[in-house]
Structure 1
Amino acid sequence: MSNPISSASHRAENTHALYRAVWRWHFYAGLFVLPFIVLLAITGGAYLFRDEIDNFVYSDLKQVTSPATPALPYSQQMAAARSMQDGTVVKLTTPVTPTSSTEITIADAAGARHAVYVNPYTGKALGEMADRGTIMWLIRRLHSLAEFGTFPNALIEIVGGWTILLVLTGIYLWWPKRVDGTSRLAIRGKPATRRWWRDSHAVIGLFAGFFIIFLATTGMPWSVFWGKYANQFANGTPTGYPSGVRVDVPLSTIPMIDAFGTTGWTTENAPLPFSVATGPQAIGIDAATQKLNNLGLTQGYAVSLPNGPRGVYSASIYPDDLSLQRVIHLDQYSGQALIDMSYADYGPLGRGLEWGINVHMGQEFGLANQIFMLMVCISLIFMAVSAGAMWWKRRPNGQMGVPPLPRDIRKIYGVMAILAIGGIIFPLVGLSMIVILLLDLVFVVRPRAQLRNA
């Protein structure tokens, strides 16, 4: 007959060993992720207010006074833009509001793109800058790590996966009840003590954890590896944009992202169609924009001009209201709408991901969405700072302070086996886990084992 006291002691020891194993991986996740989290939280919090910031910083280019006279034809506005910048007009972005300027993108002889801003009522060219040269485009590139090159950009997927791991292991570490009977939501001590930082870290992490996972998950579509193949899967099946929308239309090999520079995630790899009609010349930008207006396209849309004799007028709009998201391609000779696709035409996966991205970017619910996501970003920064404070206060002098190994080393492998599921879903995350495990074995586990056996 088994001893009840011995069995209880064995269960307690197993629980403590598992706790140590989870704590160890929580530490490694934080060690890897926290510097990136601070950067992503700061840049993401700023990008939530991209329109407000850009309109303020570049008010002399982006804002005009709305007179009583109607706007000039876009052909005249394009001519005004070319008087300031030589080259070929490749894209036109219509004014969002009556007090917004028209943005005309011109490619110079060397292929560099310039954004020229024109007063739509007077035809005056207000100024120009490099295309995507605004401060918010820089913030966006910093947020995606694209500013640092292709390899750092691939870290987005790894950071997202490790952030999810960080939250889930953190919840596990918080979950056991305290022995002193105090509430698990209590913040004890003062900021000078490690206890205060630990409790604050746990409580804020508990409330913000779900939204942190949401941000990490909805940021994955932009990742280099997972995002690419998820997009191919979505758009190769009826779960993304339905192939039946353009089944009778000849398609080019040019993806929409090449034409517009930035598009919705679901449509970025959708190929542009070919013009099927023939004629002596294209209908022109004025007739094309009039056709788009008649089709009910929301103002603020961008129009990519035909590239070659078989090119099309390609218009797209990605407003805060997802129901108004739309893509229209016009035959450059007849003006016929070859493809007219809206958010409602996407498959369930496409709609779900677009909704998640819209909320991630602070667009779906207006100002409330922006403010709430800003609070989550601030929580992320506090989580990183409090983690650093806890580590600094508990680490032994001159050491990293890696959480102690459980007595049963197999617990580490058991936790790793559970984490492998996430590694299969996100392969780059799985690869990084293997690297961390090997480093832990070589530089921490083995030296400690040799020291004990000496």
Structure 2
Amino acid sequence: MSRSSRDASDLYRSVWRWHFYAGLIAIPFLISLAVTGGLYLFKDEIDQWLNADIVRVEAQSSPTVAPQQQLDAAVAAHPGEAFRYVPPAAPNLASEVDITTADGKQAVYVDPYTGEVTGTTAYRGSVMWIVRSIHSLSYFGETASMIIEIVGGWSILLVLTGLYLWWPRGRRGGVMTVRATPAKRLFWRDLHAVTGLFVAGFILFLAVTGMPWTTVWGSKVNELANGHNFGYPDGVRVNVPLSDERLAEREKTTWSLEQAQLPESTPGGADAQSIGLNGAVRTFDDLGLAPGYAVSLPSDPSGVYTGSIYPDDLSRQRVVHLDQYSGEPLLDMNYADYGPLGKSLEWGINVHMGQQYGLANQLILALACAGIVLLCVSSGVMWWKRRPSGKLGIPPEPKDPRRLRGVLALLAIGGVIFPLVGASMIVMAVVDALVRRFSVRRGVAAV
């Protein structure tokens, strides 16, 4: 074998070895992410179907009951302190009143035409909220959610090394077509390669756009994006006195506004009267907030009424804070006010969630999720058919160990960008070194 051929073979083995390690780490989580993510694409449809008897009402031509009356009915049925009111997004949907009760937070649904309570669920306790928390691993605690950041980085590595291994190098079979039958390992190898080619871009996109939600990298980028009063010039629209309370502490908010501080209301005196929920809803309607917006109620005398909406169409995304006494907007921010970084991040997140382009967005990503599951399953079958009996089947190491160092140097770049991923790569490099040393001592070419 010529030197160039030997070098190419060593490089291929090095890449293949790290592709295998990336698969060991990422594939179990990729299956979970694909299944839960595919379901969450249709969150509204699934939740409304499962809870149709609670969230759906008969649309009527008669006027709706005042928001405060709806809230009072909800609190009467489930005593506690209301902290959020959500007017119905469509004529056939119920209003939602979120209440902190002795038994925890509850989402109480009210028929807006009659003011009667239709039912209740745990606040953010719907099936799709549980699916979402499993998707992010937050269901298993804050530490577990850090794994998603590691998996995202290894998924990027998995795609890049996979594309290198897929590259034809003069071959025709198994590049765009699948050969043999399911009984043969060649079939699964080709199926894995061809499926990987078609879903590679989706994996990269979903991994990168999912990173803003991660614990370490996401929080740092969040700080960068929100470094100057939400990431925008000080005093957008007005020069607002800010409290120490964060918007994200009050309600679910878009990612780029998680660090946003709430403005403060200014009492007009001891006898100052709040505009009340009715006045706040009337003002938000007059300001043109998109249907389905949520109203967060003031938590204290200096608190504000916050109207927020994060719809499928990013151009209609909006957050408005009202002084609870004067009813004047203290801050009115929409997507057009975001900086370039905020806009690009929000667009990526909206597409990631299947929202931005309607049903087409949902269906395309659902097919991509199905492809990711097929990719993972085919890799497992292919590995099972290839591995030596009783061994793990790690791909053979290069004859020249320096090839591994070169690949590791390239991986280190990604490790610097994503610190948790970098730390996991160091651990994996140590494990690989121990495996190779053990193999040499045993006189075995591959484990």
TM interval, short-chain normalised: over 0.9
2:121 is paired with a residue whose SS is: strand
- Equivalent residues in 2 for 1:72-221, closer than 5 Å: 72-109=65-102, 112-179=104-171, 181-182=172-173, 184-221=175-212
Looking at structure 2, the residues matched to 277 and 425 of structure 1 have their Cα atoms a distance apart, in angstroms, of 47
For the 8 Å contact 2:267–2:325, the answer to whether it is kept is yes
Looking at structure 2, the residues matched to 379 and 276 of structure 1 have their Cα atoms a distance apart, in angstroms, of 55
Residue 272 of structure 1 pairs with residue 262 of structure 2: yes
Aligned twin of 2:322: 330
Looking at structure 2, the residues matched to 184 and 137 of structure 1 have their Cα atoms a distance apart, in angstroms, of 40
For the 8 Å contact 1:95–1:101, the answer to whether it is kept is yes
CA displacement at 1:239 relative to structure 2: 9.3
Range that drifts further, 431-440 or 243-252:
243-252
For the 8 Å contact 1:242–1:345, the answer to whether it is kept is no
Looking at structure 1, the residues matched to 116 and 173 of structure 2 have their Cα atoms a distance apart, in angstroms, of 68
Looking at structure 1, the residues matched to 17 and 238 of structure 2 have their Cα atoms a distance apart, in angstroms, of 53
1:266 is paired with a residue whose SS is: helix
Aligned twin of 1:3: none
CA displacement at 1:178 relative to structure 2: 4.4
Letter in 2 for 1:95: P
1:406 is paired with a residue whose SS is: coil
Looking at structure 2, the residues matched to 301 and 237 of structure 1 have their Cα atoms a distance apart, in angstroms, of 26
Aligned twin of 2:414: 422
Q: Residue by residue, what CA displacement relative to the aligned partner does 1:396-434 show, whole Å, maximum 9, x if unpaired? A: 111000000000011111101101110000000000000
Looking at structure 2, the residues matched to 413 and 173 of structure 1 have their Cα atoms a distance apart, in angstroms, of 18
Q: Residue by residue, what CA displacement relative to the aligned partner does 1:225-260 show, whole Å, maximum 9, x if unpaired? A: 000010000110599444341662111111111111
For the 8 Å contact 1:116–1:128, the answer to whether it is kept is yes
- In the alignment of these two chains, the number of paired residues is 442
Q: What is the percentage of aligned positions where both structures have the same residue? A: 52
Aligned twin of 1:51: 44
Q: Residue by residue, what CA displacement relative to the aligned partner does 1:66-110 show, whole Å, maximum 9, x if unpaired? A: 112111100110111012100111000111101110000011246
CA displacement at 1:207 relative to structure 2: 1.5
**5+ long unaligned stretches in structure 2:** none
Looking at structure 2, the residues matched to 415 and 239 of structure 1 have their Cα atoms a distance apart, in angstroms, of 39
- Spell out structure 1 runs of 4+ moving beyond 3 A: 237-244
Letter in 1 for 2:258: E
1:177 is paired with a residue whose SS is: coil
Looking at structure 1, the residues matched to 77 and 417 of structure 2 have their Cα atoms a distance apart, in angstroms, of 51
1:362 is paired with a residue whose SS is: coil
1:243 is paired with a residue whose SS is: coil
Aligned twin of 2:62: 69
TM-score (ref. length: structure 1):
0.95
For the 8 Å contact 1:239–1:350, the answer to whether it is kept is no
Q: Residue by residue, what CA displacement relative to the aligned partner does 1:341-372 show, whole Å, maximum 9, x if unpaired? A: 00000000000010000000000110000000
Aligned twin of 1:319: 311
Residue number among 388, 397, 419 corresponding to 1:396 in the alignment: 388
Q: 1:327 to 1:239 in 2, by over 3 A?
A: closer
1:245 is paired with a residue whose SS is: coil
For the 8 Å contact 2:230–2:256, the answer to whether it is kept is no
Looking at structure 2, the residues matched to 105 and 431 of structure 1 have their Cα atoms a distance apart, in angstroms, of 41
Looking at structure 1, the residues matched to 390 and 443 of structure 2 have their Cα atoms a distance apart, in angstroms, of 20
For the 8 Å contact 2:238–2:331, the answer to whether it is kept is no
2:256 is paired with a residue whose SS is: coil
Looking at structure 1, the residues matched to 442 and 315 of structure 2 have their Cα atoms a distance apart, in angstroms, of 64
Letter in 1 for 2:256: T
Looking at structure 2, the residues matched to 287 and 316 of structure 1 have their Cα atoms a distance apart, in angstroms, of 16
CA displacement at 1:187 relative to structure 2: 1.1
For the 8 Å contact 2:415–2:421, the answer to whether it is kept is yes
Aligned twin of 1:380: 372
Looking at structure 1, the residues matched to 87 and 344 of structure 2 have their Cα atoms a distance apart, in angstroms, of 28
CA displacement at 1:313 relative to structure 2: 0.2
Looking at structure 2, the residues matched to 226 and 255 of structure 1 have their Cα atoms a distance apart, in angstroms, of 20
- Equivalent residues in 2 for 1:22-41, closer than 5 Å: 22-41=15-34
For the 8 Å contact 2:36–2:134, the answer to whether it is kept is yes
Range that drifts further, 370-379 or 238-247:
238-247
TM-score (ref. length: structure 2):
0.96
Letter in 1 for 2:311: P
Letter in 2 for 1:425: I
Looking at structure 2, the residues matched to 396 and 40 of structure 1 have their Cα atoms a distance apart, in angstroms, of 30
1:44 is paired with a residue whose SS is: helix
For the 8 Å contact 1:239–1:347, the answer to whether it is kept is no
Aligned twin of 2:220: 229
Q: Residue by residue, what CA displacement relative to the aligned partner does 1:5-61 show, whole Å, maximum 9, x if unpaired? A: x8xx10110010000000000000000110000101000000000000000000111
2:257 is paired with a residue whose SS is: coil
Residue number among 247, 250, 256 corresponding to 2:247 in the alignment: 256
